[in-house]
Amino acid sequence: MNWHLSHRADPRAVALADRHYNRQKPGTPQFVPPGRCLVLLTEDAGALWVTSWPFAEYTKHAWAGAWVNSLFRRESGPQASQLIRQAVAATRWHWPDVPALGMVTFVDARAVQSDNPGYCYTMAGFEKVGLTKALGLLAYQLRPGDMPEPEAPLGATLELAL
């Protein structure tokens, strides 16, 4: 496991978030959409991951209710596909009840510097499932049966049952 628990306003993560193409307001202290989230950061702050879990009634895409990888930026460290699998495992640890639609992510093929946008997600087990209607983003989905087993991120502690 390479991920450590972080939070939506971690100053070490803000710089990475500011360099992500979907950042709406660079420089603001919070970089995560409102609502339920899990923020992960590698030890050297070379990679950042956010899993959001928006309430279905506030979702405007076809995968309402699914976990959403709303931000992934890797500038150093292990292969992206390995980090993605570990982040999904940490998400399963954080929220043991996996939504029926699993996890989705959206890739703007015009904004990424790749001849094969979304390749790292494909290598991590995600399947390309379509395009979003509003912005034409590539949609990738990881179904529950294809997810890795839950694994705690570094620095996580378990709650004691009383």
Residue-wise pLDDT tens digits, 10-34: 999 999 898 887 777 788 788 888 8
The reply to whether 74 falls in a domain is yes
Instruction: Give yes or no for a contact between 137 and 107, defined as CB atoms under 8 angstroms apart.
Output: yes
Of the pLDDT bands very low, low, confident and very high (cuts 50, 70, 90), residue 45 is: very high
Q: Is residue 157 part of a domain?
A: no
Place of tokens 């395009």: 131
Q: Where does residue 109 fall: left (phi above 0), alpha (psi -120 to 50 degrees), or beta otherwise?
A: alpha
pLDDT of residue 161: 59
Write the CATH number for 136: 3.40.630.30
Residue 158, in any domain of the structure = no
Q: Is residue 156 part of a domain?
A: no
Predicted model pTM: 0.91
Q: Which domain holds residue 119?
A: 3-146
Q: Does 110 fall in a domain?
A: yes
Return the pLDDT at 115: 86
pLDDT surpasses 70 at 120: yes
Tokens 């940490």, residue? 90
**Predicted local confidence at residue 159, as pLDDT:** 66
- pLDDT surpassing 80 at residue 55: no
pLDDT at 151 over 80: yes
Query: Is 153 contained in some domain?
Result: no
User: What is the arithmetic mean of pLDDT over 57-82?
Assistant: 89
- The answer to whether residue 111 sits within a structural domain is yes
Q: What percentage of the chain has pLDDT greater than the value 90? A: 64
- Cα–Cα distances in angstroms (integers) from residue 130 to residues 100, 106, 107, in the given order: 18, 10, 11
**Least confident stretch, 60-69, 97-106, 121-130:** 60-69
The answer, yes or no, to whether residue 131 has pLDDT greater than 70, is yes
**Count of the separate structural domains present in the chain:** 1
What mean pLDDT, rounded, does the chain reach? 90
